[in-house]
Structure 1
Amino acid sequence: MNPKAQGRATQESLSATLWDLVVIGGGITGAGVAQQAARQGWKVLLIEQQDFAWGSSSRSSKLVHGGLRYLKEGDFKTTWHSVRERERLMRQAPELIEAQSFLFADCVGRKPGRWMFQLGLMIYEAMSGQGGERRQRGHFYADAALAQTLAPGLNPSGLRGAMVYQDAKTDDARLVYRVLMEAQQDGAVSLNYTAAQSLQLTAGRISGVTLRDTLTGHTCVVNTRAVINATGAWADRLRSDVGGRAMLRPLRGSHLIVPFWRLPVAQSVSLMHPQDGRPVFLYPWEGSTLIGTTDLDHPESLDVEASITPAEVSYLIAAVNDQFPGAGLTQADVTACYAGVRPVVADDKAEASKATRDHVVLDESGLITLAGGKLTTFRLMAQDALALAAQHVGKQFAPDDTAIFSPTPALPTHWSAAVRARLAARYGAWAEVLSRKALAPELEFIPGTQTLWLELPIAAQHEAVVHLDDLLLRRTRLGLLLAGGGLAHLQRIQALCEPHLRWGQTRWDAELARYLSIITAHYQPPPSPPLARPVHRT
């Protein structure tokens, strides 16, 4: 994960160590726990049964925000924490956590009205502590003419103006990797494709974990003082080993990606869907336009990778065409799609979109489960879990309010500002050393994206790539951003990465077949059934 890549630790070295903490789950929640614990000097092992960020943390809406809509539900605590953490992340990693302007059309007969929305924005901005320069670029009301200047083509029925405000966006998978890099720098060990096969208990308390290397099938037992269950939507499975009762409500959020030229937006346009009043948005992301999200109960097996349904595709396209009737967007315009399952704590809310996004921390025989929460609040979630784990570890845990990210070094000034910003966002403190030997062609952007060719060999050499989908769906996002999963560039991708991966042609052919099956099944719109209607139900 960094220039001093750890490689796959031997089973002997894992078993010979008494770990203060084993973190199970390699998404943003687990990464945050590992980083915060390692910063305290704890001996930390993080394992992930798939790839890092494979689950919800590479399939989110990619927004670092306070959850303005949670105010409507009266969830002031979640909003307060989220906006504060958003501000912290934007200060510490401004290239990775980017400011994004949002526009919400004010239409005759549609809720919420202008004054109610503006009241919510005032509370939202007050919670974030926006002042000075930040307040000067706070929310404002744009009349219809200005709204259509800010968002050309915007023309929902009854348009009379728009509220404009500020939030933030990121590449969620890269956020995970940046946090994991910091954790490793502080001594944590992190392994992908390593599953927790079972928990070991001694005198009724967690004392170890049986690990299984999913690449080889080999197993070993590691000894630990505590385990943090950060497996997201899969958390209830691990809890069953200690008799825990199910507490999660899996919700599926699905998204579409279309070429930027097909739907060019500078603003993020948010709206309440005309069919059912649920929040939907579209915004520029990584050189494309991202459209999301749905919010549905997900009754399907969590053993199967989540996929968007035809009804969800129609639902999201209908939302876009409501706001931009001249666009005439169709399924044929969709480059890619993705669906993730969110670990939402079950409550009594009938509607999925109203379920709480606050997190819960439980201690069950030394298994500390951290569930729920949001991408934005991973640091606070980690601190809550570690405060509970400290009694088992036997070490003090003092919440760390220092910067999560190490400073980014200066990069060559003769490189363009766009290249320097991109490298800073992706690699932070390691940007200079990783790009030091870059050749001029590697510092060019891949056509149709904001991805540098250099990112491919860096990932292959330093970022624990095991499969082609690791490389194209998570280390880079080429599989989402380019038609056909980016395979038009496969020859150059192979040439850049093979010196580091050393797969050989037979392995490349096998990886290509695997990758094609994954993107066909889970990252391309499904065929529309006859007379498919854009419905949205819980």
Structure 2
Amino acid sequence: MSDQNRSALTPGARTEHLARLRAATAENPLDVLVVGGGVNGAGAAFDATTRGLSVGLVETRDWAAGTSSRSSKLMHGGLRYLQMLDFKLVAEALRERDLLIEHTAPHLVKPIKFVFPFFKKVVDRAFIGSGVALYDAMQSVGRKRAVPFHRHLLHSKMLEVFPGLDGDKAVGALEYYDAQMDDARFVMMLVRSAAEHDASVANYTSVVGYLHEGDRVVGARVRDEETGEEFEIHARDTILAGGVWTQDQQDLAGADAGLEVLASKGIHVTIARDRIPAVPDTGIITQTEKSVLFIIPWDEYWVIGTTDTPWTQDPTDVGATSEDIEYVLEHANAVLADDLTREDVIGVYSGLRPLLQPVQKASGSGAGSTKVSREHTVMEVEPGLSAIAGGKFTTYRVMAEDVVDFAITENQPGRPSLTRSVPVIGAQGYERLVRDKQAIARRYGFDALRTDRLLFRYGALLSDVLALIDEDPSLGTPLEQAPRYLRAEALYAVRAEGARHLADVLERRTRLDYETRDRGVDAAAEVAALVGPELGWDESAQAGEVETYRAYIAARLEGERSTSDDEAAARIGAVPEVPPRH
């Protein structure tokens, strides 16, 4: 391993982190305990620990297992918010996007080009053109641009840039830039960044109750989902970053006031890259009657979405229906020259957006103080317990700063946020590796595409992955059933990235559940055999992980053939993602 040893989320490190959390007693509490391991929780833990605070972070499932691994994978300013005249929000998101590209996470966030087609020559060019011009102008105020300026495309140039567009419908277009990332890997890197700065972090650790001294929350009682052990973690301040599970946690805390969070489902499908011709790294954005349609280049695939429909079932059981998939294909076909069919769909993933508003939960009770922006809300739901929900992935750093500022005002005043200047792990040394990428490719026999993929996944931490190959050259060979990934990557997922189960590796450290038609099932046994010895699995445990994953994917596929959310949720909810604890 490199000098970043403290950040490595090894199996042994999890045991150590749990011991440190267990040691947070009433006499020696943590400064901050964060509940929820999505981007908001991971960001808050990173923010708090870089302030010099003692921090704990717990997550019921895997890091980013909920909404934060199921986004459109964009870091963007939110062009559509200009229609709502929300200039402050767009300006904030653009500043954050550029900060990530240029300083804090250049290895995880990269520019991407979009074509916005016009279907009414005069009206669209004037309306969309003025909006994007304003969008671009807001990126140039007081700072150097991180991405190129937009340009208008006449009909012929539009088809040259994106031949897959329907030239009989689109009369021209506008080309502009935003950025993209791998959402699940980004969150995991935030967790590692928090650990590097001495936060104690533990996935598969659920909150089963909140501790009180009088009316004040002073921590939580948690359960290690792998052993069943329960213990208390005391903290001066607790932050709830539960996303669509926020209300469940507020109820568990017995909060008199809180946030009402409604869930909206968004689904995406993946399509082989050669089905839609376009110049490299160029996507499409257009509006539908219900949402925004993105056709996004993702390595050898297109990610196409999204939908926006209410979800009233258990958030853990979210899944796509046949109608959802047809909706996405129908709206993609409305702008593409060649129609896509269900046979073109390689993978599908579904996530829930948290839509929220502050509410009084008990008549006559005194609400905690509240900080509200258009996109996120921070609220004291009980003394000592602050909740944050909503927001955009792009502005996670601002949200983290807001909630930590809010939570520690009484106990730890005068500790400003440092995350505007402290990079996410893997950023330092990244540019040197980029300069050396040809030498890396020659030494390890990688083609340019694989080298670029590895740099985008790991940044400077690629050196750790390559060190595994130096120790065992067989790890430098691709997985037999998933050749986009090296055997070393599967091993590194459990040695350094906190993966505890087969599904963690196949769905979030790699993305085989939507990058292969078999959804990662064919690679399951090979990966289980690689990682099993690291996690202490015997042959029976390995088989159990493989069979559980196969059953889970089968349930998701059944959900995709269903005709209602109720049916899809019932299918998915009947099968666990990871083997139950014995």
Which residue in 1 is equivalent to 2:285? 270
After superposition, give the CA deviation of every residue in 1:375-429 in whole Å (9 maximum; x if it has no partner): 1111100110111111243343202221332503544652125555444433334
Q: 1:438 aligns with which of 431, 453, 469?
A: 469
Q: 2:344 aligns with which of 320, 326, 333?
A: 333
Pair 1:510-2:528 in alignment: no
Q: 1:466 aligns with which of 486, 500, 515?
A: 500
Please give the residue correspondences for 1:267-346 in structure 2 after superposition, counting only pairs within 5 Å.
267-273=282-288, 276=289, 278-302=291-315, 304-326=316-338, 328-346=339-357
AA in 2 matched with 1:259: A
Give the Å deviation of 1:437.
Answer: 3.3
Pair 1:84-2:95 in alignment: yes
AA in 1 matched with 2:72: S
Which residue in 2 is equivalent to 1:480? 514
Distance of 1:152 and 1:98 partners within structure 2:
23
Identify which range, 512-521 or 169-178, moves more after superposition.
Answer: 512-521
The 1:10/1:463 distance shift into structure 2, 3 A limit, reads: closer
After superposition, give the CA deviation of every residue in 1:435-480 in whole Å (9 maximum; x if it has no partner): 2231555445668775444211100222222221111000111221
SS at match of 1:510: helix
Which residue in 2 is equivalent to 1:211? 222
8 Å contact from structure 1 (residues 255, 290) kept in 2: yes
Q: 2:256 aligns with which of 240, 243, 265?
A: 243
Distance of 2:300 and 2:213 partners within structure 1:
53
The 1:278/1:343 distance shift into structure 2, 3 A limit, reads: closer
Distance of 2:232 and 2:563 partners within structure 1:
49
SS at match of 1:118: helix
Q: 2:401 aligns with which of 383, 398, 415?
A: 383
Distance of 2:528 and 2:147 partners within structure 1:
48
SS at match of 1:45: strand
Count of aligned positions = 518
Moved over 6 A (4+): 130-133
- Please report the RMSD computed on the Cα atoms of aligned residues, expressed in angstroms: 2.7
AA in 1 matched with 2:318: A
Give the Å deviation of 1:524.
Answer: 7.0
Which residue in 1 is equivalent to 2:362? none
8 Å contact from structure 2 (residues 73, 183) kept in 1: yes
Identify which range, 277-286 or 1-10, moves more after superposition.
Answer: 1-10
Which residue in 2 is equivalent to 1:361? 378
Please give the residue correspondences for 1:405-416 in structure 2 after superposition, counting only pairs within 5 Å.
405-406=424-425, 407-408=428-429, 410-411=432-433, 414-416=439-441
Give the Å deviation of 1:201.
Answer: 1.4
Which residue in 2 is equivalent to 1:403? 422
8 Å contact from structure 2 (residues 263, 310) kept in 1: yes
The 1:445/1:150 distance shift into structure 2, 3 A limit, reads: farther
AA in 2 matched with 1:196: V
Please give the residue correspondences for 1:36-75 in structure 2 after superposition, counting only pairs within 5 Å.
36-75=47-86
Distance of 2:263 and 2:562 partners within structure 1:
25
Distance of 1:286 and 1:480 partners within structure 2:
12
Which residue in 2 is equivalent to 1:351? none
8 Å contact from structure 1 (residues 386, 397) kept in 2: no
Distance of 1:80 and 1:486 partners within structure 2:
39
Pair 1:14-2:13 in alignment: no
After superposition, give the CA deviation of every residue in 1:23-70 in whole Å (9 maximum; x if it has no partner): 000011111001111101111000000110000010011110010001
Distance of 1:370 and 1:477 partners within structure 2:
28
TM-score (norm 2): 0.83
8 Å contact from structure 1 (residues 107, 156) kept in 2: no
Pair 1:95-2:129 in alignment: no
SS at match of 2:304: strand
Distance of 1:457 and 1:338 partners within structure 2:
25
| Identity between Structure 1 and Structure 2 (%) | 30
The 1:94/1:502 distance shift into structure 2, 3 A limit, reads: same
Structure 2, unpaired ranges of 5+: 1-5, 360-372, 442-447, 565-582
Which residue in 1 is equivalent to 2:576? none
SS at match of 1:226: strand
Identify which range, 92-101 or 76-85, moves more after superposition.
Answer: 92-101
After superposition, give the CA deviation of every residue in 1:7-28 in whole Å (9 maximum; x if it has no partner): 2347664232211111000011
Pair 1:151-2:162 in alignment: yes
Please give the residue correspondences for 1:143-222 in structure 2 after superposition, counting only pairs within 5 Å.
143-155=154-166, 157-222=168-233
8 Å contact from structure 1 (residues 24, 47) kept in 2: yes
Which residue in 2 is equivalent to 1:252? 265
After superposition, give the CA deviation of every residue in 1:483-531 in whole Å (9 maximum; x if it has no partner): 111233345424432342342221121111211222222367622659x
Give the Å deviation of 1:157.
Answer: 4.6
The 1:445/1:141 distance shift into structure 2, 3 A limit, reads: farther
Which residue in 2 is equivalent to 1:534? none
AA in 2 matched with 1:526: E
